[in-house]
Structure 1
């Protein structure tokens, strides 16, 4: 019943976006998570704020791998790009 309600109201994508954001720490680890925050998704792009230029540079080099791993968590191609700020 709940599943049909979610499908009827096109909420599935939004729930998957929330799951993806919640999985950030488990995918990236506690250390990276400590230096990142304020994650949000807009137009299939994940925006991530970083508090350390060093961490941001490391994440930029791993951007495609991170995108693939996060999409695997939700089981669909939800994120097409990642922007680190």
Structure 2
């Protein structure tokens, strides 16, 4: 007799992470770790803080000129991040 409720280990882990509400923290940690690959060295050097909450990515930068440039390219940056992870992780960006 087979059990129709069997899941792969990966599925079970994903469900556990979601149930524990760790998925957004894991996504935030991934974005921080991959930030230079996503935005390049110069932007990474001027980024002082990154926070993800409810799909909103808050980015703190130490340059007003860079903050303005990122604001003008906000939709491109959202797309770049989501394309990088092949998932809709970020829905909005706040720059500080």
Q: TM-score range by the shorter chain?
A: 0.7 to 0.9
Match 1:8 to one of 4, 16, 29:
16
> In 1, are the aligned partners of 2:24 and 2:52 still within 8 Å (CA)?
no
* Structure 1: segments with no counterpart, 5+ residues: none
Runs of 4+ in 1 over 6 A off after TM superposition: none
Normalising to structure 1: TM-score of the pair?
0.85
* Structure 2: segments with no counterpart, 5+ residues: 1-8
1:11-56, Cα deviation, whole Å (9 max, x unpaired): 4454333223322211111111111121010111000001010110
Residues 1-85 of structure 1 aligned to structure 2 (within 5 Å): 1=9, 3=10, 4-10=12-18, 11-85=22-96
2:72, 2:66 → 1: CA distance? 10
SS of the aligned residue for 1:59 comes to helix
> In 2, are the aligned partners of 1:19 and 1:74 still within 8 Å (CA)?
no
What's the RMSD between the two structures over aligned residues? 1.6
